[in-house]
Chain A
Amino acid sequence: MSQYQVLPGPEAFLPPAAASMGNVLPDPGEAHIEGRIVPEDEAYEVFARKVLGAKVPTIFPGPLVLWKWNDHVAEKAKAIRELANEAPMRIIPMADYRPKYPKIEAAVEINPNHPNLTIWHNKIDVCIFIGVHCHQANLSLKIIRGGTNCYTMAMCAMAGHEDACLSFRDADLGKIRKLIDAVKKLKSEGVESQAIPFKQFKLSRAGLVDQSAN
């Protein structure tokens, strides 16, 4: 059986689960790129190339890194912010998993039940999920692959995601820092970010903070 490649879509309304196509998860120390199992270090480099080559690279932090469950999580959040500043990448949070009514604010949030809206609205071409519970990440990754042309990556704290185009496993602070190092390394070799210039939005209890006033 030929290897099923997990590529950016739009693949179909209901793309097949990669696991059902025979794709397997990486073992510890490994990652997968488009379904192909590779040593983890190779994936860091591909991650950095994808991010630097994208027009709208975006981090989708999930509840596991947004909410301060413990001090370790706060360190991860700090590293995520550092990664966003280094690349640069936008940060759009997935604060929880509830279906939002009557509609989500696609410019500033993503929801696992209709993640395609956020991808479309912001024209995101490369994204990485960090700190999203596996079930919700799988749901989102499939919807994104089904309806958008976004290249999806996942930094999973468990065994990885077959449905991402690229997936790490056993995420911890050290691995998030390796993402930063990989970006720095490529930049030092002369690779420049192709991201469209942007200013990270800020929200307060009153809503969007008007950054033009700053």
Chain B
Amino acid sequence: MSKEKIQICEDLADVMPPEYQELVATATYGNQDRGWKDIGSSKELIEQHSLCAGCPESIAFRYILASLPAPEDTVFVGSTGCTSLVFPHVAVHNIHSLFGNQNAIASGLKRTLKSRFPDVEKDVVVLAGDGATVDIGLDMTMQSWFRLEKFTTICFDNELYANTGGQESGLMQKGFVAKMAPKGKNFEKVRLAEIAREAGCAYVAVLTVSKPNRVEQAIKNAIYVAREVGPSFVQLYTPCILEIGKQSMEGLDEMKDSETIGGRFVQKEYITDEAQKLLDSIKEETKARKKAAKEAKKSVNA
């Protein structure tokens, strides 16, 4: 799909509900510089969500969808979990896979899209919870990295199985007591970022979703690297406020606490030299393009 296809047939346009008319008129499909700052001033690619009130996953979704470099040419692969409740409301192509299979599905999808659309850059982005990524799907996740499949994997890490009542997951912190893990976890949190780096990911980032600019940068970096260099991985802390005993308004504080010095989610990145070179060149290009646009605007105003 390209942005030219996101149009309503003229003869039936006046019966289409407002949100779809708005999507065609003001969504940022095709805008090279789209980002989180568009939220509030343009139509978002998520219409509604069915997550709990105050869930940090919902804000993570909004930031990610606002940050995709080319949503019209992006396909998400989702998996079982809270995230799968949101995909029906998203105006980006998406596929739901069996629990844990997401990276295997994405591998085939990316290769097929490459073969079917050799002249178009199609981004494949896996978005799954920690259960799908680390526990049930670790085999598929790692094998795709070993094969250097060129797509991005995003893990919404809420450190347990949230929508089944709070069971222990591999990414749960040691000693944490959950509703369905009453004795507390006996083992350390799996160091997935380091596993990703060693398994072949060219770009790895770990952060919370408390700061939208950081999320935008990490998502864009991951997708650019996946296009040119190799697999990329972003681990986002999206705490389940219900399962850790917080109120709806406390998600942001929880994320901020966890990213302070010594916290579990201090922001970190692992970037290969090749990926860094690519990101530097993109940064330079973007800077030059924006400068040229600014000057052109100035000359028009003068």
Contact = CB atoms under 8 A, between A and B. Distances in A.
B8 A205 contact: no
B5 A203 contact: no
Interface residues of A, number: 36
Interface in B14-36: 14-18, 20-22, 25
A98 interface: yes
A66 B23 CA distance: 14
A147 interface: no
Interface in B131-149: none
Contact of A77 (B9, B18, B48, B89): B9
B2 to A, nearest CB: 11
B8 to A, nearest CB: 6
A20 interface: no
A31 interface: no
B6 interface: yes
Interface stretch (A36-44, A88-96, A184-192): A88-96
A12 B130 CA distance: 41
Contact of A203 (B9, B11, B17, B47): B17
Interface in A124-157: none
A207 B18 contact: yes
B31 to A, nearest CB: 19
A202 B47 CA distance: 21
B88 A77 contact: no
Nearest to B26: A205
B300 interface: no
A202 B9 contact: no
Given A95-B17, A101-B48, A202-B15, A66 B8 contact: yes
A198 interface: no
A92 B17 CA distance: 10
B contacts with A: majority SS: helix
Contacts of A92: 15
Contacts, number: 79
B12 A81 contact: yes
A74 interface: yes
A81 B22 contact: no
B15 A205 contact: no
A contacts with B: majority SS: loop
A114 B292 CA distance: 51
A11 B47 CA distance: 34
B95 to A, nearest CB: 14
Interface string A76-111: 111011000000000111011111110001001100
A4 interface: no
A206 interface: yes
B50 interface: yes
A182 B3 CA distance: 37
Contacts of A80: 11-12
Given A74-B10, A101-B48, A101-B50, A108 B17 contact: yes
A58 to B, nearest CB: 11
A2 interface: no
Contacts of A97: 88
Given A67-B9, A200-B15, A203-B15, A95 B20 contact: yes
Contacts of A119: none
Given A65-B9, A93-B12, A203-B16, 12 more contacts: A65-B12, A66-B8, A67-B7, A68-B10, A69-B5, A77-B9, A78-B11, A80-B12, A91-B12, A98-B89, A108-B17, A204-B21
Interface of B: 5-12, 14-18, 20-22, 25, 47-48, 50, 88-89
21 contacts: A66-B8, A67-B7, A67-B8, A67-B9, A70-B5, A74-B11, A76-B9, A77-B10, A80-B12, A91-B12, A91-B15, A93-B15, A93-B16, A95-B17, A100-B48, A101-B48, A105-B17, A201-B15, A203-B17, A204-B14, A205-B18
